[in-house]
A = this chain, B = another copy of it.
């Protein structure tokens, strides 16, 4: 179903976690804290700040507790953490994360290669996490990866995506973020996917998490907006991607999303110049260029 464009969109900034986790360079704790603070100062209201997983698997996130301890908390900003299991949840609660997230996949092969278990095993592992989170009154977000294609299987059936999404919601997730991990999605497939998923889950419980690998992310986001989704994940400077997915570098850049939405008169609360500055700072530290075209071309008279 086609909606008019919304008046407001909520942006979930995933750069400090999903982004940095997938960069080769490991930053100092201080640099990570600076990044999160800059993003909050730029007006971002939901910031994925860290991950409580084994440092053996994800050395980039080994200091997440210190990052949570070091940031300046802005009132009204939600600082979240990825927590694959109960141990992670406890660490996140100790770190005073405002919200946590669990990570599933719509593709069996990707689930096995990425988190070493089948889709249903992963959902079973999340059950105690969701129960305990409910107990302590902390909200849980769900991620579903490979919603528009899988690096190992290719085609992914929207029915599988709808089914995993519905299961995460029924287990207690308040929101599920649909991830086009490999960036292969195009507008028609995106529309079909969202129609299928919204057949079983209300659209206001969904977020769009698109990669710009093939330059299609903004296009797919516009289709998502037209289908009523108003929560968008993005990563400052386009940080990160996924090392397990061939060619899957490239979260859509927050700068590009904010520029597009601003141009459409859609409110995000984010200051474009401030987020461009944050992206340039972190990119310098990582010795890379922001992937954002807006950032690269930015001249102040352009908007």
Interface residues of A (CB under 8 A from B): 2, 5, 154, 182-189, 212-216, 218-219, 221-223, 246-247, 249, 253, 256, 259-260, 262-265, 292-294, 297, 299, 301-303
Contacts and interface: CB of A to CB of B under 8 A. Distances in A.
A218 B256 CA distance: 13
A189 B263 contact: yes
A215 B294 contact: yes
Nearest to A214: B294
A263 B214 CA distance: 11
Nearest to A149: B302
B5 A188 contact: yes
Given A2-B2, A188-B264, A263-B189, A214 B154 contact: no
A126 to B, nearest CB: 30
A292 B216 CA distance: 11
Given A218-B216, A302-B214, A302-B247, A260 B293 contact: no
Given A216-B259, A219-B222, 12 more contacts: A5-B187, A154-B301, A184-B302, A186-B260, A188-B265, A213-B293, A214-B293, A214-B297, A215-B294, A219-B219, A222-B223, A246-B301
A212 B299 contact: no
A262 B301 CA distance: 36
Contact of A292 (B188, B215, B223): B215
A261 B48 CA distance: 33
Contact of A247 (B214, B249, B260, B299): B299
Copies of this subunit: 2
A292 B187 CA distance: 18
A215 B216 CA distance: 10
A184 B260 CA distance: 9
Nearest to A299: B247
Contact of A184 (B2, B184, B216, B263): B263
A59 to B, nearest CB: 26
A281 to B, nearest CB: 21
B215 A293 contact: yes
Residue in A214, A216, A292 with the greatest tally of chain B CB atoms within 10 Å: A214
B264 A187 contact: yes
A185 B215 contact: no
Given A222-B219, A246-B299, A214 B259 contact: yes
Given A260-B187, A263-B186, A297 B213 contact: yes
Contacts of A186: 259-260, 262-264
A299 B292 CA distance: 22
A229 B251 CA distance: 30
14 contacts: A184-B302, A186-B259, A187-B260, A189-B263, A212-B293, A213-B293, A214-B293, A216-B218, A216-B263, A219-B219, A219-B222, A246-B299, A246-B301, A247-B299
